[in-house]
Amino acid sequence: MQANQAPVRRVVIAGGGTAGWMAAAALSKTMGRILDITLVESEEIGTVGVGEATIPSMLTFHKLLELNEAEFMAATSATFKLGISFENWRNVGEHYIHSFGSTGTDHWTAGFQHFWLKGRARGLAADYGDYCRELKAAQLDRFAHLPDDGMNYAYHLDAGRYARYLRKFSEALGVKRIEGKIVDVAAAGGQIMALTLDHGARIEGDLFIDCSGFRSLLLGQTLGVEYEDWSHWLFCDSALAVQTESTGAVPPYTRAIAHHGGWQWRIPLQSRVGNGLVYSSRYMDDEEAQRTLMSNLAGEPLMQPRPIRFKPGQRRQSWRGNCVAIGLSSGFLEPIESTSIHLIQRNLIRLLQMFPSQGICQTDIDEYNQQASQEIAHIRDFIILHYNVTNRRDSQFWRDASALELPASLRHRIQHFRETARVFRVPNELFVENSWIQVMLGQGIVPERYHQIADLMGDAELRHFLDSIRHGVESLARRLPQHKDYISRYCRAVS
């Protein structure tokens, strides 16, 4: 069944920022020869712009665009990211790193964690993270590219500079940018017809991409797609963001520092440090949040803290009629695992795979919505895990988080790992088995047993197996250059 038989040739992107210019870049690079692409944005309307930490999937998006990595990093004051340091999450004063990449060596019947658990029980194993090259390199503040993509990494970047970089990229491929505020959205029969701007211009299109942020001006306000609220699982609904002067330290990881009513991020760029406090207004008022953030900064602030309000959840549909919401207009969880930019690019790639060149098809819309909804739900579960599985009971925030009635999907994963040490990845899920293992172990889950295949190794063989991996990881990590020195040689920021 065809929802709209007319071929799509005119694409209108409503809003700029990271989402809008990523959409413009992806469409112009892949389909710019057959599409007329217009992006509407207003300099008067600010963007959230705090998505400064990414995950390794961004490298795939940049390969699609054929970007020069060193050039992109210099233009956006970027640094490398090997993972996230979670501090005070399990207990105050304790920390662990959720790193990218794999840990140890798996057997076809069982993951490395089973052999590690036996080694731990026998007094033969070091910390789980000692068997992961990315984690060890992060601890030592070291980084380098390795042959055959042997180092899994992402970026810390200046979100404002990134949007400007992609704007230049997109305009060179024919994207037309129109300055102006959208004052009216014309719709009929469940379709967007045109946008009217404050200076009177009327922008018509065949397909509209809603990148209007939390307002969801097209999909939510105009087409009336309802919002599914997940705040009963994810308490945080507010954030304060502030930039500080660089302290000189440039660790290759994001810091996520838990407080009594939320958590604080610290993201090192080449030219400055991005900071923020994510908190729940039910447990911490704005004045207390500002005091907490400002008293825990490492450098001099460059601005006044900027407040951000959000509601964790998703639109019940991301695509309706001829309107697709990308970015915050389709939903938002929170910044804890740096998934916002990932969801932008995944939905863009999904749109490209189902692009309605010959007419909008309802089965494509249904498939797109199902995939998008499932993906963000899997990420939701992973984020809830950080709050729910904890030993902290020192504030009402943590007591309530630990007492949550969990989604059935997450409850099963936690119990399955607790009882068997097994983790199985859901098809097309973002976070791989090792991510779940690192976080569940880091948050304090100790599995009750391990796979019996590990018992086929005697103590001497198991010790040799574990030690050889650990020594190899340690040796490699210590041969890498200091992260700060590598950046200076490879991609020094341009002013």
In DSSP notation, 295-322 reads TT-SS-BSS--EEEE---EEES-SEETT
How many Cβ atoms from other residues are within 10 Å of residue 471's Cβ? 11
471, 477, 479, 483 alpha-carbon torsion, rounded to 10°: -170
Query: Which tokens go with 248?
Result: 């000189």
pLDDT the model gives residue 427: 82
Domains contained in the chain, CATH given? 2-79+156-231+312-378 (3.50.50.60), 102-149+407-479 (no CATH), 238-309 (3.30.70)
pLDDT the model gives residue 3: 59
Q: Are 69 and 491 in contact (CB under 8 A)?
A: yes
Q: In Å, what is the CA distance from 438 to each residue of 56, 83, 252, 445?
A: 17, 11, 18, 10
The span from the CA of 92 to the CA of 81, in Å, is 24
Enter the DSSP assignment of 230: -
pTM of the model: 0.95
Per-residue pLDDT tens for 289-340?
999 999 999 889 988 898 899 999 999 999 999 999 999 999 999 999 999 9
Q: Could you confirm whether 81 is annotated as catalytic?
A: yes
What is the biggest distance separating any 2 CA atoms in the chain, rounded to whole angstroms?
79
pLDDT the model gives residue 48: 57
The span from the CA of 268 to the CA of 255, in Å, is 9
pLDDT the model gives residue 1: 41
Q: Which of 81, 118, 136, 484 is catalytic?
A: 81
Q: Are 218 and 203 in contact (CB under 8 A)?
A: no
Query: Which tokens go with 60?
Result: 């795939």
pLDDT lower than 70: segments of the chain = 1-4, 45-51
pLDDT the model gives residue 51: 56
